[in-house]
Amino acid sequence: MKQQLQNILHQVTKQAKDVKSLQDIEKLRVKFLGKKGELTGVLRGMGALSKEERPIIGKLANEVRESIETLIKQANEKLLSIEKNIQFKKEKLDVTMPGKTYEIGKKHPLTLVIEEVENVFLGLGYQIAEGPEIELVHYNFEALNIHEGHPARDEQDTFYIQPDVLLRTQTSPVQIRVMENTQPPIKIICPGRVYRSDAVDATHSPVFHQIEGLVVDKGITMGDLRGTLEVFAKSMFGENTNIRFRPHHFPFTEPSAEVDVSCWNCNGEGCKVCKGEGWVEILGAGMVHPKVLRNCGIDPEIYSGFAFGLGVERTAMGRFGIDDLRLLYENDVRFLQQF
Ligand code: DAH
């Protein structure tokens, strides 16, 4: 029996050296230590031993069991460390390899201008309002005092979806929608897309953007309009910017004006950007027509207001020195990367 035990230990020592996987180790354990394993088998035979032999063989059997357990444990550790090394090698990271670069997009110049204008007016306590691009003729024309047959309808010819539904030609209808639902004081700007059936060229596009402004309260005067636009022009184009009003006609404002800013490029001297004028037109403005206020349920005897409409494309082109409006819509990355 002593011999058998020593034999078992010898075999385990030998086989433990050859294990290649954790499964091999488990097989080895079951083979020698399992319920039907070889060591168990030997121990079962101990009943046949004499009283004197039993403690000696028992002690030896325990020692052999401990040795086997230690061998298995060692084999297990060795295997794990080998596997870990293999894994380390597999996952080895070459920090000198060039990394993947992800190109980060930029804001479109039109977005930049819209956000800049929004920031100026938010700073002045305005709120941002929006209206639908598919608009009723009533809001786009009628309520703005542009009746059927008015020449302004021709100038702003657009895409009709039904006889009384069109793609809005201006952001001015948002004025009406807001005034219908809000009692003064009102201080809003409305950025958005507008449509006209213009042929595409360097300064025209059938889709473009405007930012509308509207203030209605007690005692609002043309002086407030001028002061507001002056603050706006200076924050947009620089502290030295001046503005000038030229008399004009819009059906929904009275009096009305076209507003120019002194050229940001030449400071009014005259250059290519301002076509030698020293001034660049950027928006239309005026005092809200009493009829328009009345159309919206606001009493013009109590309230007055001013409004303005800014062309975003025109502002962006001036601001960034872009000489062809089509560049803004072609989405050529080489162009867009510059802003
Ligand atoms: N809606 C006008 C246009 O598209 C621009 C405009 C002019 C808006 C005067 C206004 C305004 O609010 O007061 O030509």
**Residue 132 confidence class, pLDDT cut points 50, 70, 90:** very high
For the chain, which residues make up each domain, given as ranges? 2-90, 109-336
* Better-scored residue on pLDDT, 59 or 162: 162
Residue 69, pLDDT > 90, answer: no
Q: Ligand 1: which of 232, 250, 281, 306 to mutate, judged by most atoms within 8 Å of the beta carbon?
A: 250
Q: Encoding tokens for residue 27?
A: 């097989």
Nearest atom in ligand 1 to 286's CA: 13
Task: Give me the residues paired with residue 283 across strands.
Answer: 259, 310
CB 297 within 8 A of CB 184: no
**Burial level of 249, CB count in 10 A (0-12/13-18/19+)?**
middle
Residue nearest to atom 7 of ligand 1 (CA): 284
Residue nearest to atom 2 of ligand 1 (CA): 309
Q: Long-range CB contacts (< 8 A, 24+ apart) of 227-232? A: 228/124, 228/306, 229/259, 229/283, 229/285, 229/308, 231/120, 231/124, 232/117, 232/120, 232/121
Predicted confidence at residue 46, as pLDDT, reads: 81
* 160-162 β-sheet, strand order: 134-136, 165-167, 160-162
| Residue ranges with strand state E in the chain | 127-128, 134-136, 160-162, 165-167, 186-195, 207-217, 243-250, 253-262, 279-288, 304-311
- CATH class of the domain at 109-336: alpha beta
Q: At residue 25, what are phi and psi to the nearest 5 degrees?
A: -65, -40
CB 250 within 8 A of CB 256: yes
Q: Ligand 1: which of 308, 312, 313 to mutate, judged by most atoms within 8 Å of the beta carbon?
A: 308
CB 212 within 8 A of CB 178: no
d(CA 146, CA 136): 13
From ligand 1's centre to the CA of 141, what distance in Å?
12
From ligand 1's centre to the CA of 229, what distance in Å?
14
From ligand 1's centre to the CA of 216, what distance in Å?
16
Nearest atom in ligand 1 to 194's CA: 4
**Residue 246 confidence class, pLDDT cut points 50, 70, 90:** very high
DSSP 298-333: --TTT-EEEEEEEEHHHHHHHHHT---TTHHHH--H
Kindly state the average pLDDT of the residues 52-67. Answer: 85
Nearest atom in ligand 1 to 214's CA: 12
Q: Ligand 1: which of 117, 252, 292 to mutate, judged by most atoms within 8 Å of the beta carbon?
A: 252
Q: Encoding tokens for residue 43?
A: 């121990």
Whether this model's pTM surpasses 0.85 = no
Q: Is 232 helix (H, G, I), strand (E, B) or coil?
A: helix
CB 241 within 8 A of CB 234: yes
**Residue 260 confidence class, pLDDT cut points 50, 70, 90:** very high
| Residues framing ligand 1 (Cβ under 6 A) | 170, 172, 212, 250, 253, 284-286, 307-309
